[in-house]
Every structure is written in C-alpha cells, then in structure tokens.
Amino acid sequence: MSRLRPTCSKFVIRALLVACWALLAWSVPQRASAQPAAAEALFRAGREAVDRGDPQTACERFRESYRLETAVGTLINIAMCEEQLGELSRAWAHYQEAVHALTGDDRRRDTIIARLAALDARLPRVTIALAPSAPPDTRVAIGAIELTRASFDVALPYDPGQYVIEAAAPGYASRTYTLALVEGQRAQLVVAPGEAVARIEAPPAPVAAVPAAAPPSGPAPQGAIAIAPAASASSAQRDVGWVLIGAAGASAIAAGIAGAFVIDRAAVVDDHCPRDMCDLEGERAAASGRAVYALFIAAGVSTLITSSVGIYLLVDAGSSSDSATLQLNGRF
C-alpha cells in the first residue's frame, strides 16, 4: 500500500494538469483556422499597398492578416493606415492597444507613444452635457449611436466631420443639433429635447341610439298595454325542448331494445340453469344479461329526465307567448 500511494498521487496530479490544460484551451478563443503563412502573405500585400499609396487596400489586408494571426506589428500598421484615411479615433484606439501590448524594452514602444501623442493633439473631442431644464430620462444619439448618461460630461474622441445629434425624451418633441468637427477641436454641446407635447384626449365614443320598437298593427284593446313578445328567447326555448323530446325518444328506443335483450337472456338462463346450476351457455347468458340490464336502467332514467325537461320547456315557451298581452283592467 505504501508503494502505491506515490504512484497514485502522481497519476492524480497529471490527470488534474491535463484537465486544467483542456479547460483553458477550450475557454480561450480559438483560432483553429488561423494560418501564419496566410497572415504573413496578407501583411506583405498590405505593405505593398502602402508603398503604392493605397491606404484603403492596405487597411483591408492588414485587418485580415490580424484576424488570422494577432501580431502587434500588424496592429501598428492598421493604426498607421487608418490615420492616413482620416479615421483618427480608430487609429488612436489601435495605437493605445499596441502600447499596452508592447513590453518596456521594445524599441517600437517609444515610437508608438510619440505617434499617439501627436495623434491625440489632432483628434477632435466633444463633451455633451444635459441642460438643467432637460428631463432626467433624456436620450442623446450621435448618428446611429445612442449615448447613455455615463457618456455625458466626458470629452469623447470623434473623427473630423459633420455630425447630427438628437435629444429626445418621453412626452417631448425631439430636437436636433448639427456639429462640424475639425482636427484638434475641443467642442462642448449642451442639449435638451424640444417642447413638451400636449396629450390629446380622445373624445368619448358616442352612444348608439336604440331605435324605438314599431307600434303593433291594429288598435289596442281598451285598458290593455301591448308588449312585444320575446320571440327569439321563446323560440330558442322551444327548439331546446323539441331536441330533448327527440333525445328522450331515442333513449326510449334504446331502453326497449335493451329490455327485449334482457328478457331473451333470462329465458336462456331458465333453460340452462336448472336447480341454480348453470352450464357454460347459461353463465354467458347471465353475464351478458346483467351488462345489458345496466344499460336498460340508464336508458330508462335518461328517457324520464329528458322527456320531463323537454315537456317543461315546451309548456313554458307556450305560456310565455300567451302572456304577451297583459289586461290591466284600468289599474296598475
């Protein structure tokens, strides 16, 4: 046992190391499709585009090379061609990333820091603040990008050019501002939405007038008030009554058939069960007779209930129709 313990400990440690290595390899973003040779070819193609004065193509080549293989040199070249294209804010961000990636003893670091300082002086910055009268939930958008409250009162870098800034808030009209930025400009813009929008209350829906019932044809008898009978209600009640009568008839037919079958089975039982001793056919007849007898009882009860309810509905519908005209004899 003492000899096995070190071996098991080593095995467990190795297994844990392999598991940790697999977990780290899975969690880190994979570049399985990265090909250093392809990245190098794209980088050289980008340098050739720089030499012939085509920074747009150079940026495309460098970005694709950096996608296949993350190299600090490629990132620096991306920032340099973006600076030539006037994309100063993107170049500034990539220079910052390159400075953090370079070690202190790398000779390129001082050069990039100097370029970053020169670019920082050229880069326009805008500070956006809310006016005191602006609602606290005011939203500000520069082009298609919406800024949150965390972006207010901070000098944000932007490329030179013209921008449309919109301020809006619920219940207020939106207001737009136009801002033209040039290199090195430091602008501050105080924004607020437009005037409050008055809420228009919808008018109440008109109440539909109920047309008066047409007077009955012919003169009404003396001292009598004619009341239009509820034809639809009594007609529906009458229809339900007739449906129940029909169901009662069907149940009665089923009960008659079941009763005839029970009588037939009883005769078979009498023939095959002398002295309370039944043969196989007598047992079968008794079992089927008992089952159909339950159906006979259910059909009979159903016939009684449905016929009673149907007759009641028919009688009640007829009495409702007869009481349409009330004789008041001159009294209330």
Pick from 172-176, 185-189, 261-265: least confident: 261-265
Domain final position from 100, 121, 142? 121
Assigned domain for 49 exists: yes
Number of domains in the chain: 3
Is residue 143 within 8 Å of 167, Cβ to Cβ?
no
Tokens of residue 309, six digits: 């309810």
**Domain that includes residue 288, residue range:** 224-327
Is residue 74 within 8 Å of 58, Cβ to Cβ?
no
pLDDT digits (tens, 9 = 90+) for 250-306: 878 887 897 788 788 788 777 777 766 677 776 777 788 788 788 778 877 888 897
Assigned domain for 11 exists: no
pLDDT digits (tens, 9 = 90+) for 302-320: 888 978 887 877 777 666 5
Query: Whole-number mean pLDDT of the chain?
Result: 77
- Structure pTM? 0.47
CB contact set of 155 (below 8 Å; sequence gap of 6+): 125, 126, 127, 186
Are residues 107 and 154 located together in one domain of the fold? no
pLDDT of 71 strictly over 70: yes
Are residues 71 and 43 located together in one domain of the fold? yes
How many CB atoms lie under 10 A from the CB of residue 83?
20
Pick from 42-46, 124-128, 251-255, 322-326: least confident: 322-326
Assigned domain for 169 exists: yes
pLDDT of 6 strictly over 50: no
Q: What is the mean pLDDT of residues 164-178?
A: 92
